[in-house]
Amino acid sequence: MPHSHPHAFGFLNARDREGLTLSRRNLLKAGLAGFGGLTLPALLAAKDSGNARQPKSVILLWMAGGPSQIDTLDPKPDRPPENRGPFGITKTKLPGVIVCEHLPKLAAMLDRFTVIRSVDCRHSNHEPNTVMQTANLLAEPRTNPEARSYPAIGSLVAKLHGPNHPATPAYVAFMRSRSHLAFGGFLGKSYDPFLANEAARLPVYDLVGGDTGQLSGGKMFELPTDVPSDRMGSRQSLLRNFDRLRADIDGSGSMAALDKYGQQAVGMLTGGKVRDALDLSKEPAATREKFGKHLWFQQALLARRLVEAGTAFVTLDLSYHTASGTWDTHGDNIPPYGGIRKGLTPLLPLFDHLITTLVSDLEQRGLLEQTLVIAMGEFGRTPQLGTQGSTDGRNHWPYVMSMLLAGGGLRHAQVIGSSEKDGGQIQERPVRPGDLAATIYRHFGVPLDSTYKDATNRTLNLLPNGGDPIRELF
């Protein structure tokens, strides 16, 4: 009998090639869209067992491409020009500590931050950018076919800690390119990040950072106007219909979200908490103006709103380009990245405003103590300028990287570690991917000796290469 109303799952684009067709891939897509990807099932199960968690969060500002340590947080002003780069320096709130001249706002409030100048990124690469985001040295797909299966730190937080509110996703990302992020991997698709950029109304930027004047997203939570929300309950029967597929898909983990807790995830579509968090019109105009209209600024404000609503881990993919990333400043003759002057000059003021506004806003709203803000990329860049025939480009350099941290109730107003005089190697206090991950897990109260099982019931360690919380922060 034909329906007289639009299908409630019309957002799956059933008539489109990539919509709901009778293939296994798209049947799974139908079952998981809006349910498993929200990672609600794990929290509901934990809540049933009385395993309550403290409301802790992380916001990761992912500078896809690899920002130059020398031209940002670890300047070398006394070195020759071909090493120190084209930028000047500025003094900071921390006596004797300098940063790039294009980071004046950060310099003025560096006492609320920790700068780490000795991050060891060996083994890390990009496209995909997964070693630093998983803390697994084998998560390099160019050399290891299994690399994409190692779960993101955010996915493990989603499993072992869960969100801070049962109506919000645990792990959320604003994604520019899938190759820029780590996903659920061995944990299954139910621990992939919820892609907030597909659910929020945001400006569309082109590959070189130009605002197209268009808006995208925002329709994920819309129901057809003539299908009232109370009818969504009957749609839960669709989930039960997928049970017969379980044996067929074996160990993929894709159906893990479709148990009784997965069915409860329908409430996310009708409850409105996530939808409201992703609606900037609900934010006071003064706050929206304070952050600004740039795409990354709006995403940062949405990240705060998600944390406030109960999300545990939010990643912002700070890139315009969908390939290796906007911070991949190889050279001035390689568009759209440019070298240091052409590539970083427009990016650094944006980053400067974004991170300082975000941290200040979290502090003003009483959220900074519970929210750890991290800014980094996948590696640093060569100490010598002029790579690939350019005048001031820098190539990939996994031997040392700088990063920023703020909040989380940790001890800040310090610089940890140092690089050698040309910024090319770690001089003292190496900080490895496992150390960063251990710091994050300790922040969430996740025991560092935790294990988890993949979809084939294999037991895996939380920290596969070891790691200790960064002692200076505690």
CATH number of domain containing 202: 3.40.720
Strand (E) or helix (H) holding 364: helix 347-364
Query: Residue 432 and residue 429: Cα distance in Å, rounded?
Result: 10
Query: Residue 136 and residue 268: Cα distance in Å, rounded?
Result: 32
67-120 pLDDT per residue, tens: 999 999 999 999 999 999 999 999 999 999 999 999 999 999 999 999 999 999
Question: What pairs with residue 403 in β-bridges?
Answer: 116
18 plus 118 within the same structural domain: no
Average pLDDT, integer, range 277-301: 97
Q: Is residue 345 part of a domain?
A: yes
Question: What pairs with residue 205 in β-bridges?
Answer: 211
Q: For the chain, what's the residue count?
A: 474
> Which is higher by pLDDT, 39 or 401?
401
Query: Residue 170 and residue 162: Cα distance in Å, rounded?
Result: 5
Query: Residue 326 and residue 67: Cα distance in Å, rounded?
Result: 9
Does residue 59 register a pLDDT over 90?
yes
Q: Is residue 192 part of a domain?
A: yes
211 plus 246 within the same structural domain: no
Please identify, among 208, 237, 271, the residue that sits at the C-terminal boundary of a domain: 271
- Choose the most confident range, by mean pLDDT, from 45-54, 111-120, 192-201, 266-275: 111-120
> Which is higher by pLDDT, 128 or 202?
202
Crossing angle (nearest 10°) for helices 433-444 and 153-160? 30
422 plus 458 within the same structural domain: yes
388-415 pLDDT per residue, tens: 888 999 999 999 999 999 999 999 999 9
Q: Give pLDDT, residue 21.
A: 40
Share the mean pLDDT of the chain.
84
108 plus 66 within the same structural domain: yes
375 plus 253 within the same structural domain: no
* Domain housing 216: 57-221+273-473
DSSP state of 367: -
- State what percent of residues in the chain have pLDDT above 70: 77
CA neighbours closer than 13 Å in the CB half-sphere of residue 50: 0
Q: Give pLDDT, residue 455.
A: 75
Task: Indicate the range of 288-297, 327-336, 361-370 predicted with least confidence.
Answer: 327-336
Q: Is residue 38 part of a domain?
A: no
Q: Give pLDDT, residue 258.
A: 45
- The token duo for 312 is 């545990």
The label of the residue with tokens 């500078």 reads 63
245 plus 381 within the same structural domain: no
412 plus 443 within the same structural domain: yes
175 plus 255 within the same structural domain: no
Does residue 6 register a pLDDT over 80?
no
DSSP state of 431: B
Q: Give pLDDT, residue 9.
A: 35
Positive or negative CA dihedral for 172, 156, 458, 183? positive
Q: Give the three-state DSSP class for 115.
A: strand
- The token duo for 283 is 């934010």
Q: Give pLDDT, residue 27.
A: 37
385 plus 464 within the same structural domain: yes
**Between the CA of residue 182 and those of 46, 135, 316, 414, what are the distances in Å?**
24, 11, 12, 29
Please identify, among 271, 302, 330, the residue that sits at the C-terminal boundary of a domain: 271
Please identify, among 210, 242, 271, the residue that sits at the C-terminal boundary of a domain: 271
143 plus 250 within the same structural domain: no
Query: Residue 156 and residue 451: Cα distance in Å, rounded?
Result: 10
Count of CB atoms within 10 A of residue 106's CB?
28
Average pLDDT, integer, range 48-74: 86
CA neighbours closer than 13 Å in the CB half-sphere of residue 237: 4
267 plus 280 within the same structural domain: no
Please, which pLDDT band fits residue 52 given cuts at 50, 70 and 90? Answer: low
Does residue 358 register a pLDDT over 50?
yes
Cβ 69 vs Cβ 377: under 8 Å: no
Q: Give pLDDT, residue 246.
A: 44
Q: Is residue 202 part of a domain?
A: yes
Does residue 122 register a pLDDT over 60?
yes
Average pLDDT, integer, range 249-253: 47
Q: Which residues, 6+ apart, have CB-to-CB distance to 174 below 8 Å? A: 195, 196, 197, 299, 302, 303, 314, 315, 316, 317
Q: Give pLDDT, residue 32.
A: 40
19 plus 129 within the same structural domain: no
Cβ 168 vs Cβ 277: under 8 Å: yes
Question: What pairs with residue 431 in β-bridges?
Answer: 119
**How many domains are there within the chain?**
2
Q: Is residue 44 part of a domain?
A: no
- The token duo for 119 is 């991050």
Q: Give the distance from CA 58 to its chain's centroid.
A: 9
Beta-strand relationship, 313-317 and 57-62: parallel
Q: Give pLDDT, residue 162.
A: 95
Please, which pLDDT band fits residue 337 given cuts at 50, 70 and 90? Answer: confident
What is the amino acid identity at position 283?
E
Q: Give pLDDT, residue 1.
A: 43
Beta-strand relationship, 380-381 and 396-397: antiparallel
Closest CA to 447 of 469, 430, 420: 469
> Which is higher by pLDDT, 313 or 334?
313
Q: Give pLDDT, residue 250.
A: 44
Torsions phi, psi of 431, nearest 5? -120, 120
Query: Residue 104 and residue 114: Cα distance in Å, rounded?
Result: 16
Query: Residue 308 and residue 30: Cα distance in Å, rounded?
Result: 29
> Which is higher by pLDDT, 208 or 388?
208
Q: Is residue 201 part of a domain?
A: yes
Q: Is residue 40 part of a domain?
A: no
Q: Is residue 2 part of a domain?
A: yes
Query: Residue 166 and residue 383: Cα distance in Å, rounded?
Result: 47
